[in-house]
Structure 1
Amino acid sequence: MTQASYGQFCPVAMAAEVLCTRWTMLVVRELVSGSTRFNDLRRGVPRMSRTLLSRRLKELEHAGIVERRPVPGEHGVQEYRLTSAGEDLYPVVEAFGLWGQKWVQSDVSLQKLDPSLLMWDMRRNLDPSPLPSKRLVVQFRYTDLAPANRSWWLVVQPSGDVDLCRTDPGFEIDLYVETDLRTMTAVWMGLATVATARRNMSLDGDPEIVRTMQSWLGLSPFAAQPKLVP
């Protein structure tokens, strides 16, 4: 699908023609974050339709930012990989994120809550190194959500891989986290810490896992950037 042109030779205008269509930068964010399969990309943009995601990936492929590759050992399965041009977008995505963390007001950010995206980001950013080298299960229960979206499980494997489950995986729970979605999102964004959020959070489980939660919890890669607006 051909996008309307700005009609300017400026490199900013030409880059904007490729990258500034709706959802495109969020798809690039997911690719930069390491997602390569279509379904994983969808989990990072849960409100984007499959049809539109497919269209944006084709546009990025046409622009030379993404290429499709067959997955070895999986007949008919393809994954999306960044080209050299796509890899050059790492600092662009980082600059977008840092600007948003610094200059977008906290209340504006916390009006846009999404448990699917929050849990998916927590899964891929979780740091297993402070945790015991065994399978661990953390159950999150968001008290302000409807029953269908209330409970989520992170399963940390001894290898360090982390799985996100929407249904009970059937393992013993090492830590129960009960809170509201806004509180957990604020912690993830670096707007609060586990310690400062404890008045709105119930933690029940292994005391050592509770004690180190701030260090292993998968925070936003921009959480360390201080806000410059309230």
Structure 2
Amino acid sequence: MKGYGQFCPVAKAAEVLGERWTLLVVRELLCGSRHFNDLRRGVPLMSPTLLSQRLKQLERAGIIEREPDRQNKQGMAYQLTAAGHELTPVVMMLGNWGQRWARSDLKREDLDPALLMWDMHRRLNTEKLPAQRTVLQFEFRDVNSAKRFWWLVIKRDEVDVCMKRPGYDVDVQITTRLKTLAAVWIGDVRLRDAIKEGQIELQGPSQLTHQLDSWLALSTFANIKPATRA
């Protein structure tokens, strides 16, 4: 991007991080995504070409580095440098500020089941789930057929997100509206209230459904209360 023509450190930082999507790519890297396809799932509306450009810019800025992928010898993985890791409190404070001051009613254009499932799969408390494979099925009543059903397949500490039936028996079925689950995830609606009021319907063994709030952790920012405006 074009520079600001200032020596101010804030201006210099903005020249590196201020372009569209850049901070969201950094967010995904801080959340643990290291591969191109995983990064894409965290920014589903970003084109692959633009993602490649932003990754190259972050590499030139010394925020990330590429290294051979240990899982795929022909592929590459992205690793945050010390400079990249130092952005952790910056991103967290932006999230806290956004939850306090930029919070608004969820709009349809802000809702994406793919992103919600991707976010949720990283926050599952797998230690509270059975050691054997557990399959969760989500049905969003207000979403078209292509993205209506989603599955999370959990085995120990591994969680896979599936858009197609994974071929295993479903242990817990969760039926709701996309807006409802997003509101619960971000902390606007209490999970237990949504269940009690029938906005979220659960089917499955009681040892799983009754403990839903112990293994289904919410957004990192869910407990941040909105600021009171004068």
- For the aligned pair, the TM-score class normalised by the smaller chain equals over 0.9
Q: Is the 8 A contact 2:106 2:183 kept in 1?
A: no
Whole-angstrom CA distance in 1 between matches of 2:83 and 2:180? 38
User: What is residue 70 of structure 2 aligned with on the other side?
Assistant: 72
One-letter amino acid of the structure 1 residue matched with residue 224 of structure 2: Q
Whole-angstrom CA distance in 2 between matches of 1:74 and 1:37? 10
Whole-angstrom CA distance in 2 between matches of 1:111 and 1:185? 13
One-letter amino acid of the structure 1 residue matched with residue 153 of structure 2: V
Which range moved further: 23-32 or 94-103? Answer: 94-103
Q: Is the 8 A contact 1:138 1:176 kept in 2?
A: yes
Q: Is the 8 A contact 2:187 2:223 kept in 1?
A: yes
Q: Name which of 67, 74, 79 aligns with 1:81.
A: 79
User: What is residue 165 of structure 1 aligned with on the other side?
Assistant: 162
One-letter amino acid of the structure 2 residue matched with residue 146 of structure 1: N
Mapping of residues 43-62 of structure 1, within 5 Å: 43-62=41-60
User: What is residue 32 of structure 1 aligned with on the other side?
Assistant: 30
User: What is residue 227 of structure 1 aligned with on the other side?
Assistant: 226
Q: Name which of 119, 122, 133 aligns with 1:124.
A: 122
Pairwise CA distance, 1:130: 1.8
Q: Name which of 95, 103, 106 aligns with 1:105.
A: 103
Pairwise CA distance, 1:226: 1.6
User: What is residue 213 of structure 1 aligned with on the other side?
Assistant: 212
Q: Is the 8 A contact 1:105 1:229 kept in 2?
A: no
User: What is residue 146 of structure 1 aligned with on the other side?
Assistant: 144
User: What is residue 190 of structure 1 aligned with on the other side?
Assistant: 187
Pairwise CA distance, 1:93: 0.7
User: What is residue 17 of structure 2 aligned with on the other side?
Assistant: 19
Q: 1:122 to 1:48 in 2, by over 3 A?
A: same
Q: Name which of 86, 89, 92 aligns with 1:91.
A: 89
Whole-angstrom CA distance in 1 between matches of 2:228 and 2:128? 32
Whole-angstrom CA distance in 1 between matches of 2:106 and 2:95? 15
Q: 1:129 to 1:110 in 2, by over 3 A?
A: farther
* Secondary structure, counterpart of 1:47 in structure 2: coil
Q: 1:50 to 1:111 in 2, by over 3 A?
A: closer
User: What is residue 136 of structure 1 aligned with on the other side?
Assistant: 134
The alignment-based identity, stated in percent, is: 50
Q: 1:73 to 1:102 in 2, by over 3 A?
A: closer
One-letter amino acid of the structure 1 residue matched with residue 167 of structure 2: G
User: What is residue 115 of structure 1 aligned with on the other side?
Assistant: 113
Which range moved further: 106-115 or 35-44? Answer: 106-115
Higher relative contact order structure (alpha carbons within 8 Å, sequence separation ≥ 6)? 1
Q: How many residues align?
A: 227
Give the ranges of 4+ consecutive aligned residues of structure 1 lying more than 6 Å apart after TM superposition. none
Whole-angstrom CA distance in 1 between matches of 2:131 and 2:15? 47
Q: Which consecutive residues of structure 1, in runs of 5 or more, have no partner in the other structure?
A: none
In the superposition, the TM-score normalised over structure 2's length comes to 0.95
Q: 1:18 to 1:109 in 2, by over 3 A?
A: farther
Q: Which consecutive residues of structure 2, in runs of 5 or more, have no partner in the other structure?
A: none
User: What is residue 201 of structure 1 aligned with on the other side?
Assistant: 200
Q: CA RMSD in A?
A: 1.5
